[in-house]
Copies of this chain bind each other. A is one copy, B any other.
Amino acid sequence: MTRPLQFKVEKSLFDEDGVGRARAGRLSLAGATGQPQEILTPVFMPVGTVGSVKAVTTAELRRMSAQIILGNTYHLYLRPGHDRVERLGELHRFMNWDRPILTDSGGFQVFSLSALNKIDDDGVTFQSHIDGSSHRFTPELSMSIQKALGSDMVMAFDQCPPYPAKPEEVQMAMQRTLKWAARGLEVPLKAHQARFGIIQGGLYEDLRVQSAREITALPFDAFAIGGLSIGESPELMQKMAYFTAPLLPADKPRYLMGVGRPEDLVEGVRAGIDMFDCVMPTRNARNGQLFTSQGKINIKNSKYADDPGPLDPECLCETCTQYSRAYLRHLFICREVLSARLNTIHNLTYYVRLMTEMRTAILENRFDDWVKSFYTKSRH
């Protein structure tokens, strides 16, 4: 049987120690409908929490060239329920999205979002953040939920300890994550579904080394770095991603979970990461924080009240080509629904284009120059 995921590194850059770093790749998937899918990396995945990338339609996601989105297992399990989604044609059909979907394991939300969670070696008991009802996730159930959702990429159920945490706690979570990973692998998935293992180990290099060694020994199709971007400084996060990326196999996709700001994506790609996801472009859009080629803009600022110019003169999205900063500010001040839409379209377009630019720069052997130019412009 062919693997559901194939990955080809088209070009890889090496640092002065000969370690493989920034790379451009092609990720091929079997596809939920039998139609093969291809993703060009590095790639950013917009977050479609509960079966919708907040404020935008899937038609808009296609227009902005989003290649893959993420769905949250915890949220979809609670509402509308994974069995219901499966009955309605799985997540792709339910939300009208024909490109790939990655689902997380639900672990992160169980630990961070739900009330009163209780962890043991077998799984986690938690209360719903919606109605306080009691639920229990195990590695097996997480796989079954993701199987029902029919996503293209399935994440192992891991334990992400909070930050800061003592080395003993981080080590225990790491060991549990390893056992849970092995248990999850025993659960059959649908033929098109690829499996991602997750490296834990917090900010401890020795634990990262151990976790990477043990997890990558298991037959996963790709690997993710978990347990970062959970409260530590961006510098620490970037440093640990740079340390961990080369510990993962060079011939499989590397995914840095929950990251991040544009500069974090740049540093992630520089470290050798292929995939990213974050709520930042969508959430910040709804709060009026917009990313542009000249740096961040808070559209609420009164200096934009009479500004007839486009949000980002270098951007070709619907928002930047059709509306003025003055109009976008007005919509935000009036709390119009259209504000969330237009801002989200722009921020996601910015993120998608950022990744495309990095990919092109890698392929054209000018990534370092591109990075310099990025920092010069965005600190403008």
A residues near B (Cβ < 8 Å) are 50-52, 54-57, 59, 79-80, 84, 87-89, 94-96, 286, 305-306, 308, 318, 322-324, 326-327, 329-331, 333-334, 336-338, 340-342
Interface hub of A95, A306, A338 (most chain B Cβ within 10 A): A338
Specify the chain B residue showing the minimal Cβ separation from A58. Answer: B322
Subset of 10 A-B contacts with CB under 8 Å: A54-B336, A55-B337, A57-B318, A79-B330, A88-B306, A88-B326, A88-B327, A337-B337, A337-B341, A341-B341
Specify the chain B residue showing the minimal Cβ separation from A75. Answer: B334
Q: Is A306's CB under 8 angstroms from B52's CB?
A: no
Specify the chain B residue showing the minimal Cβ separation from A56. Answer: B338
8 A-B pairs with the lowest CB-CB distances in the bound complex, closest first: A55-B337, A80-B330, A52-B338, A96-B322, A52-B336, A50-B334, A337-B340, A88-B326
Question: Could you say which residues of chain B place their CB within 8 Å of the CB of A330?
Answer: 50-51, 79-80
Question: Could you say which residues of chain B place their CB within 8 Å of the CB of A59?
Answer: 318, 322
Interface hub of A50, A51, A323, A334 (most chain B Cβ within 10 A): A334
Question: Could you say which residues of chain B place their CB within 8 Å of the CB of A56?
Answer: 338
Bound-state Cα–Cα, A257 to B187, Å: 63
Q: Is B333's CB under 8 angstroms from A79's CB?
A: yes
Question: Could you say which residues of chain B place their CB within 8 Å of the CB of A286?
Answer: 337
Bound-state Cα–Cα, A329 to B52, Å: 13
Q: Is B79's CB under 8 angstroms from A331's CB?
A: no
Bound-state Cα–Cα, A366 to B326, Å: 49
Question: Could you say which residues of chain B place their CB within 8 Å of the CB of A88?
Answer: 306, 308, 324, 326-327
Question: Could you say which residues of chain B place their CB within 8 Å of the CB of A341?
Answer: 55, 57, 337, 341
CB distance from A352 to the nearest CB of B (A): 19
Q: Is B336's CB under 8 angstroms from A50's CB?
A: yes
Q: Is B87's CB under 8 angstroms from A334's CB?
A: no
Say whether, besides A333-B79, A334-B79, A84 and B340 are in contact (CB < 8 Å): no
Q: Is B50's CB under 8 angstroms from A80's CB?
A: no
Question: Could you say which residues of chain B place their CB within 8 Å of the CB of A57?
Answer: 318, 338, 341-342
CB distance from A329 to the nearest CB of B (A): 8
Q: Is A94's CB under 8 angstroms from B324's CB?
A: yes
Question: Could you say which residues of chain B place their CB within 8 Å of the CB of A324?
Answer: 88, 94
Interface hub of A57, A305, A324 (most chain B Cβ within 10 A): A57
CB distance from A249 to the nearest CB of B (A): 38
Q: Is B84's CB under 8 angstroms from A327's CB?
A: no
Q: Is A323's CB under 8 angstroms from B96's CB?
A: yes
Bound-state Cα–Cα, A142 to B303, Å: 28
Bound-state Cα–Cα, A144 to B349, Å: 40
Bound-state Cα–Cα, A327 to B88, Å: 9
CB distance from A288 to the nearest CB of B (A): 14
Query: Besides the contacts A96-B323, A337-B340, what 15 more A-B pairs have beta carbons closer than 8 Å?
Result: A51-B330, A52-B331, A52-B338, A55-B338, A57-B341, A57-B342, A59-B318, A80-B333, A84-B326, A87-B306, A88-B324, A89-B308, A94-B324, A94-B326, A337-B341
